[in-house]
Amino acid sequence: MITTITSAEDLEEQAGPLEGAQLAEFLRDQVRVRVHVYQMKVAARIGDKYDEEELARLRREVEDLVVVPLPSPKPGPPSPYPVRGAHAAPTAEAMELEKKHLVDVCEAYGEVLSMCNAGVFRAPRATRPKKAAPRQDAPARDLALVGTVFTEDKVDWKVVHVGWSGADKAVVVWYYDTALAGRTGVLEAGMKAFARDVADSRAKGTCPAPLEFSAVREVRAWIRASQEE
């Protein structure tokens, strides 16, 4: 761990027993910690030699450097997890452990992604609320179905209305059981009015018993099958 020296007395005490390469690295650490941790702009050069001239230069520049007050370190960004903050001057061993930890995290994340891609499980994704389908007018070819009579499941049906269904958010075909309508006295005009009101969400009461609705594609298939019989 690097101890940040902040006075000439502390520098003399710490550097006194050191010599050669140990003294040079000790002095260079004081420059490094100010440049990389405290983000200070210093005139002292780190250098890479260990001769007497280099040691004298380092000692002279570091003596001038340690008496300069240290700025308050800038707080890091807030962490979403309760993790220990980074040390001001980590050792080489601590930095290697941190690098290994990051490699392990990246490898584990890669394994999770490979399992997701393989379909083992799917990570949840944020979904946006779906917009309501805009109301659509029935095309002319679908409106032409009104009045068509067809047979499905041994029952005779008649198309009475084609239009938008607010509940189903789609164009649907309304048709009624002609035999049941005759027996119950339900008029076609009343069923047609009910089907129109459904499109505007104005329908009141229950749907007349003979009246039903289905998707356009389904009704067309029934009509085609009825004509082929």
- Tens of pLDDT, residue by residue over 133-152, are 666 788 888 999 999 999 98
- 95 is a domain residue: no
Neighbours of 29 (CB within 10 A): 17
Evaluate whether residue 131 is within a structural domain: no
176 inside domain: yes
Sheet holding 149-152, edge to edge: 149-152, 155-165, 170-177, 211-215
**CA angle at 115 for the pair 111 and 117, rounded to the nearest 5°:** 115
Inside any domain, residue 215: yes
Residue 1: band (very low, low, confident or very high) from pLDDT cuts 50, 70, 90: low
User: How confident is the model at residue 197, as a pLDDT?
Assistant: 81
What is the tally of structural domains in the chain? 2
Q: Which of 66, 84, 110 is the last residue of a domain?
A: 66
Q: Is residue 194 part of a domain?
A: yes
For residue 129, what pLDDT is reported?
A: 61
pLDDT in tens, 50-71: 888 888 888 888 888 888 888 8
Look at residue 88 and tell me if it is in a domain.
Answer: no
Q: Rounded CA gap, 143 and 160, in Å?
A: 10
In this prediction, residue 177 has a pLDDT band, given cuts at 50, 70 and 90, of very high
pLDDT (tens digit per residue) in 189-211: 988 888 888 766 655 567 788 89
In a domain, 201, yes or no: yes
pTM value?
0.42
CA dist 222 and 103 (Å) reads 63
Q: Which of 21, 44, 66 is the last residue of a domain?
A: 66
Range of the domain at 145: 140-228
